[in-house]
Chains A and B, each alone.
Chain A
Amino acid sequence: MSTELNLTLKIWRQAGPDAPGAFDTIAAPGINDEMSFLEMLDVVNERLINDGKEAVVFDHDCREGICGTCSLMIDGQAHGPQKGTATCQLHMRKFADGQEITIEPWRATAFPVVKDLMVDRSAFDRIIESGGYITAETGGASDANLTPIPKPVADAAMDAAACIGCGACVAACPNSAANLFTAAKVSHLNLLPQGQAERYSRVEAMVDTMEDFFGSCTNHGECQEACPKEISIDFIAMMNKDYLKSKFKNRKTLSRN
């Protein structure tokens, strides 16, 4: 069933945010191909500790591909070579014996390296804080079935809402743009009837905040390929349209169709 892989890892090591970093070559022999990529790193860390060396710092948590904590640029691809898969769900059977694997942190000015492979993605939180919500204070909600939502609408909102906020879109984008993340968040809420009241103020605030941190979208489509949830760049087009409207629409007449 399982086979053993002997790998060479080139891992980015950086002591702190302002320290210079460099690739460290670490041999990783005897890696079982049933392992997940992060379990492989666990094994490597365990060996480092046993050798009295400092373990490689990397972000991870749920290991089920849903929390969005894990990251890693693996051989030049965000979350590695398997499409639609976060690093934690990537398995070693995708790699060959004798392979050299290069592991680098996400690179973007808005995602400064904290240490080794860990980066700070707080800029995403700033985007959400600026408008990524529907104002619905606790206790005032009406019955959930009062507003029927057509299934295709609910499904489209869910497609956008699947975003796990991992930052792969920014990491993969040649421009470090966060348009896919922001568009997914904007579209999720702007598609739903509940989100209409704040539709234009939301897109305006979120896009403006996004542009304070990230680059601009030039429609490479690289983000869509890197996204572990395979979120479509169609949402970016949707966001662009809403943003245009936010600038030109007379908001006093928003309730008239």
Chain B
Amino acid sequence: MRGQIKRTADTDRFSRWKRTGVTSAAMATTTVARGSADAGSKAKRKAPFPVEFYRSALGKKYVMALTGIMLMGFVFAHMVGNLKMYLGAEDINHYGEFLRELLVPILPRTVFLWLLRGGLITAFALHIHAAYSLTRMNHAARTVGYQAKRDYIAANFASRTMRWTGVIFALFLVWHLFDLSWTGTGATWVRGQAYQNIDNSLSRVPVALLYIVANLALGIHLFHGAWSLFQSMGWNNPRFNPMRRNFAAGFAGLIVLGNVSFPIAVLAGIVGN
């Protein structure tokens, strides 16, 4: 039968990225009798249910949305905390110390901060892993692309560049950690002296520009991500739907405004020694 030949060919195309080879049996025999289409899927279901859930693309999107929310929370808190820059060196350095003292004496000093950091790192790792797997899946879903130019209607710059804005920001993040938390990047750097470190680093014009560009990328990423998460989480209600886009734009704008203000303030001399 023609069906068999053709579907076998399909199978080859899919087997590279399909979670299992189960459907290959179903597809190869589309024109002849076969068992219940979901009987096969059942057979492989052995892992604990959260793992099972994560194996599906929809599950990964949930994880991306959930970790996205966590990261958004961090980004927001980070930005608010950094506004202490405008109150002076003592305030922000004191704020840094406060973070290390969180939940003391229930927990020893810095333990809770490390728990938060652990959560953050896990969220980052999952967010990136899910994005990576989904991107691979999507590439496999269209091995031969359109040969003529596409004309997108709804898909905007933000939604189509998520993986690039994500990668740009992730790379920046590593640099940022070296710059202000771990070793410094050439400018005078003293552990624990947040205010002075920021001032010293951002006084360099190229570094200030790098911070601005990276935060713009973050803003673009958030513009789509903060909207998209509602869809992925299934948070959809006609009463609130119009507000979702506004929330995303507002949130992204706020973060960009806050974060970009720091290098500008340093360069302009509003903040600094």
Contact = CB atoms under 8 A, between A and B. Distances in A.
Contacts of B38: 130-131, 205, 208-209
A222 B150 CA distance: 12
Interface in A131-184: 131, 174-177
Contacts of A212: 14, 18-19, 22-23
Contacts of A209: 23, 37-38, 41
A207 B148 CA distance: 31
Contacts of A207: 56, 58
A216 interface: yes
A233 interface: yes
A171 to B, nearest CB: 9
B142 A108 contact: yes
A242 B7 CA distance: 30
B49 A104 contact: no
Interface stretch (A58-66, A71-79, A85-93): A71-79
Contacts of B4: none
B67 to A, nearest CB: 15
Interface stretch (B133-141, B185-193, B258-266): B133-141
Contact of A238 (B26, B52, B228, B236): B236
A213 B141 CA distance: 7
B270 to A, nearest CB: 39
Interface in A1-36: 10, 12, 17-18, 23
B30 A122 contact: yes
B61 A76 contact: no
B155 A222 contact: yes
A214 interface: yes
A76 B231 contact: no
Contacts of B18: 212
B27 interface: yes
Interface residues of B, number: 61
A130 B10 CA distance: 18
Which of A122, A129, A212, A247 has most B Cβ within 10 Å? Answer: A212
B41 A205 contact: yes
Contacts of A247: 49, 52-53, 59
B181 interface: no
Given A213-B14, A240-B232, A12 B143 contact: no
Interface of B: 6-7, 9-10, 13-14, 18-19, 22-23, 26-27, 30, 37-38, 41, 49, 52-53, 56-62, 134, 137-138, 140-156, 159-160, 162, 224, 227-228, 230-236, 238, 241
Given A176-B138, A213-B14, 13 more contacts: A104-B147, A108-B142, A110-B10, A112-B10, A217-B232, A221-B159, A222-B155, A224-B154, A234-B236, A238-B236, A240-B234, A243-B58, A247-B53
Contacts of B228: 218-219
Contact of A225 (B59, B153, B227, B234): B153
A46 interface: no
Q: Size class of A's contact patch?
A: 35 or more
Contact of B153 (A102, A213, A226): A226
B62 A130 contact: no
A12 B138 contact: no
A102 to B, nearest CB: 4
A124 B113 CA distance: 49
Nearest to A216: B57
B146 to A, nearest CB: 5
Contact of A109 (B26, B142, B224, B235): B142
Nearest to A201: B38
Contact of B148 (A23, A130, A215): A23
B154 A130 contact: no
Contacts of A244: 53, 58, 62, 234
Nearest to A18: B9
A211 interface: yes
A53 interface: no
B137 A216 contact: yes
A120 B6 contact: yes
A76 B151 contact: yes
A236 interface: yes
Contacts of B227: 219
